[in-house]
Amino acid sequence: MSTETVPDLRPVRSTATWALQVHLYLAAWFWGIALVVVTLALVVINQVGQVENSVLAFGRQGAIWFPFSMFIAITAAYLPVHVATGLTRRALSLGLLVAAVVTGLVYGLVFYALLQVERAVFGALGWQWRNLEGMSPDFDDPTALLVSATLTFVAAYVSGLLVCIVYQRAGGWWGTLALPLTAAPILLVSALFAQDAGPFSTSEWFGGDRPLLAASAATLLIVAAMAVAFDRLTRGASVPSRPS
């Protein structure tokens, strides 16, 4: 009787665990600093004028681009170490993709929770809570806010992985020329979920009465395409040789 070979997922698990430890450590610092900055900004604005808008909502851009850049830098540094220890590129690809998705979920949940806390504080102090970031089809809908923020973060972090591996495989010139394919999906996803982005908003182009569902489905397809591209490119990546 033949038996099927069960894939060994331990290398994938160890890679994902290591990457998550690094990125969640950075996330703790990021959100800790964000809380201090937001608190100071609210105090200053209240002293010189009137608080009328969410301050934390502007932190969405930082939550997109800081981890995006960290996924590029950490992946570039970790690739030769990973291969040198005898682990496979398959484990590297799958482990980093798991880390990117989980990190995006964590950032989305923390961002959403802090926005709700900020909203409650605004209400208690009699301040108006508005969003000027246009981050979801319906900013007042908790579900729309959570889904749009989380999927945007996931897309950004997977994009960071793709940017890194394209630079590693193709070099500086081609890596830069490929940015419209590797990094631009972040802008596309942001536009998909935009509440009001002028001529660049796509939230009403195909959503009908359910723009959140359509935008979410399109975002998942974009993320899946980037993940497949990253996996294919990573499995054929060479390790940069060290100068003797």
Three-state SS sequence of the chain: CCCCCCCCCHHHHHHHHHHHHHHHHHHHHHHHHHHHHHHHHHHHHHHHCCCCCCCHHHHHHHHHHHHHHHHHHHHHHHHHHHHHCCCCHHHHHHHHHHHHHHHHHHHHHHHHHHHHHHHHHHHHHCCCCCCCCCCCCCCCCHHHHHHHHHHHHHHHHHHHHHHHHHHHHHHHHHHHHCHHHHCHHHHHHHHHCCCCCHHHCCCCCCCCCCHHHHHHHHHHHHHHHHHHHHHHHHHCCCCCCCCC
Interval 54-73 mean pLDDT = 92
For residue 78, what are the domain limits? 10-235
**241 lies in a domain?**
no
Domain presence at residue 3: no
Q: Tell me, yes or no, whether 243 lies in a domain.
A: no
Give me the number of domains the chain comprises. Answer: 1
95 within some domain: yes
Confidence class of residue 125 from pLDDT cuts 50, 70 and 90?
A: confident
pTM, two decimals, is 0.87
In this prediction, residues 228-241 reach a mean pLDDT of 79
User: Is 212 within a domain?
Assistant: yes
- Within a domain: 5: no
Residue 103 is assigned to a structural domain of this protein? yes
Q: What is the mean pLDDT of the chain?
A: 84
Q: Is residue 240 part of a domain?
A: no
